[in-house]
Structure 1
């Protein structure tokens, strides 16, 4: 396992993090026991960073149960404040007071602590942030108050979609400790501006969607059918034809096995090739996923030529989140 300093916290975290969104059942139903087993397996393998959210169904509760049973060193726990403006708050700017009215940040944090059975979280993030909110308001005051009270060690924001450059002003403000944003082979643009900017300002970067909701693993075929409740039912078919996506993934097969043991390993190694990425989270809620993803870190890193080729010749920038927020065109 690789480790990195988390901003100015004095704490180190694993560069591969456990994304607990899968505990919500949004990738398909799974037993609580299997979810807990997957997390314990990841912790045993050296993962120390866990990311969840108040809005991820039962995720925080299941995480709390798992942590209560865990006998090892306490991991770094990050969660997110639940916004109240509905699903479109992640697709288009809404007023700050609509998503996080006065008291909401505090109430969400308190609910998260109760659900997980913790007296503090290592990182509390706004689940969405829009640049037109600026750097102050009730939401920021509450985040800072929670930090002073010790209920939160660090505070951060999550970029709602692919437009990572819009958060540069708040990064420069010195008021936040981390930014969570999309980074993957198909969309590496955050690596060009946001990530080096965060390094300069000593702000941690949490990369998400590094496997593009699983698409970069090569699992998607023309005949793949998603179960009821799986949010990917529309994700891969609403913005571009599924055939186009499959074709783009197939073009990456030429890098296997010379540069990685699998497409998933290639995608993980690509994101972690940039030292500015503090930690990269994947949905390791299935034990087999956890084993495979962690094993990728035992492989030799990508050489700079291969990294550059992937970043420039294989980008496939699209905004699949639009379908989730607004429906199919």
Structure 2
């Protein structure tokens, strides 16, 4: 397992545990299985956990797993819950609509209780719009929590695929990290946001590195999704399913010469750039954790293969257009 220094100087694993799967949005599973998956990942060297107040029971389940874990304390990241429903992610809203006064503090206090910890290593706003500027009551409340020792670092989670929107706050010196989408199909953050974060010593947390599982090759014409599984709209609401399958099929030419599997190819692509501090993947199923950790331990992609993937396999689609505004 490779490790990197977080912006604050703490060493963390370059592959991180994304706990959104504990919300049941990829299908329900027993709570015991979720706890076992996280403990397994920690045993295998994962030291970074990302969750959110908005992810259903995720924080509580993470807290239960941490109480069972007897090893070194992992780096724990979560997110302030924004108000206003899905609208606050789909299109710009005033800061007061997403984070009215005291919402940041109240959400943080709820997270501390659910997680069962006295301090959260990284607290992220779950949305941000550049129209807010870089100061306001929301930033003041984050700084107050930091001064009180309830959080150690402050970050921003970027809405959907518009990674460049956070550049003003990245350069402000007020935040320690940015979380954004990075994957083979949408590598655009690597072009502008990531190098600017590196120049300003802001950590980068890459998410959706497997494109919600699509880059593993699991999707077929016959794949069905259960009630409440958000992948149903993700894969069928943005582009024709067959178009997606065809794009994944084109990646198979790189397997096994450059990676042991499609999932490994996707993970190695994101980890190629040293400015990616950690890349989070949903490892709520133990088999996923084992496979993803093994992929991260493979030899890095060579420069030519990385560049080819970066430039000729893009397939950018914005799920939020469907999620927030509905099907045409």
TM > 0.5: yes
Residue 63 of structure 1, CA deviation: 0.5
| Distance in 2 (alpha carbons) for counterparts of 1:283 and 1:67 | 17
Local SS of the residue matching 2:53: coil
Give distance in 1, aligned partners of 2:163 and 2:103.
25
1:277-292 aligned within 5 A: 277-292=276-291
In 1: Cα distance, 2:9 partner to 2:240 partner: 46
Cα distance in 2, alignment partners of residues 93 and 281 from structure 1:
26
For the Cα contact (< 8 Å) 1:210–1:271, is it kept in 2? Answer: yes
Q: How many Å apart are 1:321 and its aligned residue?
A: 2.2
Contact 2:161–2:318, Cα closer than 8 Å, also in 1: yes
* Structure 1 residue aligned with 2:4: 4
Deviations 1:195-252 (A, max 9, x none): 0000000000000000000000000001110011101111111121001000000000
Offset, 1:88? 1.7
Note if contact 1:126-1:158 (Cα within 8 Å) is conserved in structure 2: yes
Cα distance per residue 1:244-271 (max 9 Å; x no partner): 0000000000000000000000000000
User: Distance in 2 between the 1:321 and 1:35 partners?
Assistant: 27
Q: Report if aligned partners of 2:2, 2:297 keep a CA contact under 8 Å in 1.
A: no
1:129 maps to 128
> Equivalent residue for 1:150?
149
| Counterpart in the other structure of 1:249 | 248
- Post-superposition offset of 1:166: 1.2
Q: Helix, strand or coil: the match of 2:178?
A: strand
> Which residue of structure 1 aligns with residue 185 of structure 2?
186
Q: Offset at 1:298? A: 2.0
What is the CA-CA distance between 1:161 and the residue it aligns to?
A: 0.9
The Cα shift of 1:84 comes to 0.4
Distance 2:302 2:202 in 1: 26
Rounded to whole Å, the distance in 2 between the matches of 1:241 and 1:298 is: 34
1:54 aligned onto 2:45? no
TM-align CA RMSD: 0.6
Asked if structure 1 preserves the Cα contact closer than 8 Å seen for 2:160 and 2:319, the reply is no
Compute the displacement of 1:85 (Å). 1.4
Asked if residue 99 in structure 1 is aligned to residue 98 in structure 2, the reply is: yes
Report the counterpart of residue 27 of structure 1 in structure 2: 26
Cα deviation for residue 111 of structure 1 reads 0.2
What residue in structure 1 maps to residue 233 of structure 2?
234
Contact in 2 for aligned 1:27/1:231 (Cα 8 Å): yes
Aligned length: 328
What secondary structure is seen at the aligned counterpart in 2 of 1:264?
helix
Deviation of the 1:313 alpha carbon: 0.4
Q: Mark the runs of 5 or more structure 2 residues left unpaired by the alignment.
A: none
TM-score w.r.t. the length of structure 1 is: 0.99
- In the TM superposition, what whole-angstrom CA distance separates every residue of 1:115-144 from its partner, at most 9, and x where no partner exists? 011001000000000110110111000001
